[in-house]
C-alpha cells in the first residue's frame, strides 16, 4: 500500500468497473429495510453502492470518503438511479455535520489502527439517542482467506474490540460468522466477518 491512503483508493477506484459492484451490501440492505426511513450516514462510502440504494428507498443520505475517484463514481451511480446523495471528500477525523443521524452504517470500514478508536467515538457522537448502527467488517480470522480485506491483523476486528470501541450501545445482535461474499472483484468468496446491530442508549 502507498503511504497516502487517498492515493491507494484513488488508484483502486480509478478503474472503469465498480470494483465492489453496484448492488448494496446484503447485510446492510437487510437491516436498513427493517427501519423507518430517516437520515443515514455512510463513512468511507467508496463508490456509493450503499448510499445510492438507501436514497432509492427514501433515505436522506450523507456520505464521505477520502477518495475523489470513489465520489465521482458514486455521483455517477446516483445520477443513473435519479437520486441525490450528499457526498463529501474528507477524512473521518475531519468530518463534521450540523445534524445527528438516525442510522450510521459501517460496511467494511477499516480505519487505520492509530485513528480507529477515535474515529468510531466521533462517529457515535453523530448518532441520535435511539439511533441504530449497522456494522459489517472483516474479523481477524479473515487473514486466512483471500476474499478481501486488509492484510494487517490490527485493522481487522474481534468481538471484544467491537465492544470496547462502540460504547453505550445496546447490541441487538453481535456475531462472528462465515459468509459467502459476492461484491465485485475484490470481495468474492468465503469470508469471516463480524456483524452487529446496535442502538444508542
- Residues 140 and 157: beta-carbon distance below 8 Å: yes
DSSP 140: G
pLDDT (average), residues 185-195: 91
The C-alpha torsion from 9 through 113 and 117 to 59, rounded to 10°, is 20
**Cβ atoms of residues 192 and 141 within 8 Å:** yes
- Kindly tell me if the per-residue pLDDT of 21 is higher than 80: no
Q: Is residue 1 predicted with pLDDT exceeding 50?
A: no
Which of 31-40, 55-64, 145-154 is predicted least confidently? 145-154
At 195, list the grid cell. Answer: 456483524
Which residue intervals of the chain are DSSP H helices?
Answer: 5-13, 26-32, 49-56, 68-80, 113-125, 159-165
pLDDT band at 118 (very low <50, low <70, confident <90, very high): very high
What's the mean per-residue pLDDT of the chain?
Answer: 93
Please give the Cα distance from 90 to 96 (Å, whole number): 9
pLDDT in tens, 83-115: 999 999 999 999 999 999 999 999 999 999 999
Query: Which residue(s) pair with 196 in the sheet?
Result: 135, 174
Structure confidence at residue 3 (pLDDT): 63
Indicate whether 13 pLDDT > 80.
no
Minimum mean pLDDT among 5-9, 35-39, 49-53: which range?
Answer: 5-9
How is domain 5-200 classified at the CATH fold level?
Rossmann fold (3.40.50)
137: β partners:
194
Rounded Cα distance between 27 and 22, Å, is 15
> Is residue 5 scored above 90 in pLDDT?
no
| Extents of the domains making up the chain | 5-200
Amino acid at each position: 500500500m502507498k503511504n497516502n491512503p487517498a492515493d491507494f483508493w484513488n488508484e483502486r477506484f480509478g478503474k472503469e468497473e465498480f470494483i465492489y459492484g453496484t448492488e448494496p451490501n446484503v447485510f446492510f440492505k437487510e437491516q436498513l429495510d427493517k427501519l423507518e426511513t430517516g437520515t443515514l450516514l455512510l463513512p468511507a462510502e467508496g463508490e456509493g453502492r450503499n448510499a445510492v440504494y438507501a436514497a432509492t428507498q427514501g433515505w436522506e443520505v450523507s456520505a464521505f470518503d477520502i477518495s475523489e475517484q470513489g465520489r465521482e463514481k458514486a455521483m455517477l451511480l446516483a445520477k443513473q438511479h435519479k437520486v441525490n446523495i450528499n457526498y463529501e471528500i474528507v477524512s473521518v477525523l475531519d468530518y463534521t455535520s450540523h445534524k445527528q443521524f438516525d442510522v450510521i452504517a459501517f460496511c467494511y470500514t477499516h480505519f487505520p489502527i492509530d485513528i480507529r478508536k477515535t474515529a468510531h467515538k466521533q462517529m457515535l457522537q453523530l448518532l441520535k439517542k435511539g439511533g441504530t448502527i449497522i456494522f459489517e467488517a472483516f474479523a481477524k480470522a479473515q487473514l486466512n482467506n483471500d476474499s478481501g480485506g486488509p492484510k494487517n491483523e490490527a485493522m481487522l476486528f474481534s468481538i471484544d474490540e467491537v465492544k470496547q470501541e462502540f460504547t453505550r450501545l445496546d447490541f441487538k445482535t453481535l456475531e462472528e460468522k462465515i459468509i459467502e461474499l459476492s461484491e465485485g472483484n475484490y470481495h468474492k468468496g468465503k469470508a469471516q466477518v463480524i456483524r452487529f446491530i446496535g442502538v444508542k442508549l
